[in-house]
């Protein structure tokens, strides 16, 4: 349960729902969480599923909150921030933004007030509690504020901090867009297995579980990915032949190009 007053979410979409679900599992009191959401059906769903306070009035949701999570689409952020600026100026809560591409200087300008701001870049696996969120805090966020932001985002997975806001573009390119890169690999492995004679269900299961197992292995020890790759690649064996084909196909430069292109687009959208 939070001991810092009400936590308010502005926007009741999937990311908010995943965070709320994780927080409740961690022991937070649903009565300490409020959600501002314009869609009536979504409000009913959140109230029924989580037992939190829901309202169609964002100002009502934020009133009395010690922490405000802005979880609306980037194109709606200016309107929402302008609407809440006066309340945030008076109450001075910690403000956490999960809107992709919205820089802190933009958010501060729209709020019209100097508030403690934290910018977050989550990724879609957060929807199943397996995400990773990168956080960047402005200079006006103190130690307790950073700890509170981390505590909230850990409800959806792991958390890392970056020292510069400019790094968020790289984060977006690696972990934000990254799930799509792995989905392409899963898709390609499935299709290749089917081409070699396996039925599609078996091929998909093998691809998914192999990717999952590789990730767990990489996470469970201290070995770098390169070391793990070497351990499973016997000279002259099947894996060595497969790896040679990947290298000839340019898998490394292709991934490097993907990250560079996504980071460049993230910078363009932020500007």
CA distance 113 to 208: 47
Q: What is the pTM of this model?
A: 0.88
pLDDT digits (tens, 9 = 90+) for 208-257: 999 999 999 999 989 999 999 999 999 999 999 999 999 999 999 999 99
Question: Which two three-digit tokens encode residue 203?
Answer: 């091929």
Are the beta carbons of 34 and 58 closer than 8 angstroms? no
Domains present along the chain, CATH in parentheses: 6-165 (3.40.50.720), 176-270 (1.10.3730.10)
Q: How do 65-70 and 33-36 pair as beta strands? A: unpaired
- Give pLDDT, residue 187: 98
CA distance 54 to 9: 9
Minimum mean pLDDT among 2-11, 23-32, 45-54: which range?
2-11
What H or E segment, with its residue span, contains residue 47? helix 40-50
Bridge partners of 120, per DSSP, are: 135
pLDDT digits (tens, 9 = 90+) for 60-103: 999 999 999 999 999 999 999 999 999 998 889 999 999 988 99
CA distance 29 to 17: 15
């Amino acid at each position: 349960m939070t001991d810092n007053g009400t936590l308010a979410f502005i926007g009741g979409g999937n990311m908010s729902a995943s965070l709320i679900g994780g927080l409740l599992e961690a022991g937070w009191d649903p009565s300490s969480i409020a959600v501002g959401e314009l869609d009536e059906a979504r409000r009913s769903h959140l109230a029924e599923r989580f037992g939190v306070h829901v309202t169609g009035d964002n100002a009502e949701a934020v009133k009395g909150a010690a922490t405000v999570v802005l979880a609306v689409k980037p194109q709606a952020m200016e309107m929402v921030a302008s609407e809440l600026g006066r309340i945030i100026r008076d109450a001075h809560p910690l403000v956490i933004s999960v809107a992709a591409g919205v820089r802190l200087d933009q958010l501060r300008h729209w709020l019209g007030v100097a508030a403690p701001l934290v910018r977050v870049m989550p990724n879609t696996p957060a929807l199943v509690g397996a995400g990773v969120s990168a956080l960047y805090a402005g200079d006006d966020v103190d130690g307790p504020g950073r700890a509170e932001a981390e505590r909230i985002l850990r409800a959806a997975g792991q958390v890392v901090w970056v020292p510069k806001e400019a790094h968020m573009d790289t984060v977006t390119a690696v972990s934000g867009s990254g799930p799509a890169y792995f989905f392409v690999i899963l898709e390609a492995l499935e299709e290749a297995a089917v081409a070699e004679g396996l039925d599609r269900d078996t091929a998909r299961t093998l691809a998914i579980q192999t990717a999952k197992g590789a990730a767990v292995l990489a996470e469970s020890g201290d070995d770098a990915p390169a070391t793990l790759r070497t351990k499973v690649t016997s000279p002259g064996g099947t894996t060595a032949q497969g790896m040679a084909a990947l290298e000839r196909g340019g898998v490394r430069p292709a991934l490097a190009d993907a990250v560079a292109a996504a980071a460049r687009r993230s910078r363009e959208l932020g500007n």
